[in-house]
Amino acid sequence: MLGLGLAGYFSVKFNIFDCVIVAFSLVEIGFEIASSDALGAGLSALRTFRLMRVFKLAKSWEDLNKLLTTIAMSILEVANASVVLLIIMFIFVLLGMQLFGGVYDEAFSPDEKPRAHFDNFWWAFVTVFQVLTGENWNEVLYNTMFAAGPGAAVIYFVALNVVGNYLILNLFLAILLGNFEQDDDGESNADNGKSEDASGDKASAKQPTNDVVTDSSAAPGTQNTSAPAAIRKPL
């Protein structure tokens, strides 16, 4: 930074990336020195940001660079699918609150009700997200079946898994794979174009050129004959 200056240093994206990683490391070291052991243990998670230095390989690793570029280009298309996913989650949150809201207190009394429930909007949203990620969702299903009966619980969770997990989440993979296929097609077309240009250049180099010089003053079908150099006179 001292050699290049601030403008020259921050004009390179990888230098900005290094600066962010170093800043997180300095913050983690400072909090670890100044804070207690409990807080320091929690802030030690900032060390994971140092692992992001592996992305610097994209500067010299061409395949990794193409991979990251394709993923970055897919973010805009994934944003539309994310809106659809949020709408589906909102619908199932409201449906879960309508079907299972308030049934956990009566079923699990006097014990504490499970953490995943549909009594309010926040925990209903967290519960739907947990089911979509597949993190111990069968326990949520069993608790709901115990509290509200097996009929509505089975239909609700099966519909949530089919619509949210197998359709919407797989849509993200389809968008990503489609961008990879377009990238491969573009590379193959570029290679074919280069090979055709090279073959055309070779063919034009091998073709002989015949330069024909014609006399525009001569009439067509006639031949030019040279006149005698000198005419002798009789003595």
Instruction: Encode pLDDT of 18-44 as tens digits.
Output: 788 778 777 777 777 776 555 555 555
Q: Are residues 168 and 88 in the same domain?
A: yes
For residue 12, give its domain range.
1-57
Q: Are residues 132 and 52 in the same domain?
A: no
Task: Please report which confidence band the pLDDT of residue 231 belongs to, taking 50, 70 and 90 as the band edges.
Answer: very low
pLDDT for 225 equals: 46
Task: Please report which confidence band the pLDDT of residue 10 belongs to, taking 50, 70 and 90 as the band edges.
Answer: confident
- What's the rounded Cα separation, in Å, for the pair 110 and 166? 37
Task: Please report which confidence band the pLDDT of residue 235 belongs to, taking 50, 70 and 90 as the band edges.
Answer: very low
Q: Are residues 114 and 178 in the same domain?
A: yes
3-state SS, residue 3: coil
**CB-CB contact of 118 with 99 (8 Å):** yes
**Has residue 219 got a pLDDT over 50?**
no
Q: Are residues 52 and 81 in the same domain?
A: no
| pLDDT tens figures, 151-203 | 899 999 999 999 888 887 788 788 878 877 776 665 666 556 555 555 655 55
Q: Are residues 123 and 150 in the same domain?
A: yes
Q: Are residues 19 and 125 in the same domain?
A: no
Q: Are residues 85 and 188 in the same domain?
A: yes
Say which residue, 67 or 122, is predicted with more confidence: 122
**CB-CB contact of 166 with 142 (8 Å):** no
Q: Are residues 96 and 175 in the same domain?
A: yes
| pLDDT tens figures, 68-117 | 777 777 777 778 788 888 999 999 999 999 999 888 887 887 778 888 88
Task: Please report which confidence band the pLDDT of residue 226 belongs to, taking 50, 70 and 90 as the band edges.
Answer: very low
User: What is the domain count for the chain?
Assistant: 2
Q: Are residues 3 and 75 in the same domain?
A: no
For residue 120 the two structure tokens come to 């309010």
Q: Are residues 151 and 115 in the same domain?
A: yes
3-class SS letters over 123-190: HHHHHHHHHHHCCCHHHHHHHHHHHHCHHHHHHHHHHHHHHHHHHHHHHHHHHHHHHHHHHHHHHHHH
Q: Are residues 130 and 93 in the same domain?
A: yes
Q: Which of 53, 58, 44, 69 is nearest to 19 (CA)?
A: 53
pLDDT for 177 equals: 80
**Has residue 51 got a pLDDT over 70?**
no
pLDDT for 204 equals: 58
Q: Are residues 77 and 191 in the same domain?
A: yes
pLDDT for 186 equals: 59
What are the residues whose beta carbons fall under 8 Å from the beta carbon of 163, sequence distance 6 or more? 88, 92
Q: What phi, psi does 224 have (nearest 5°)?
A: -85, 125
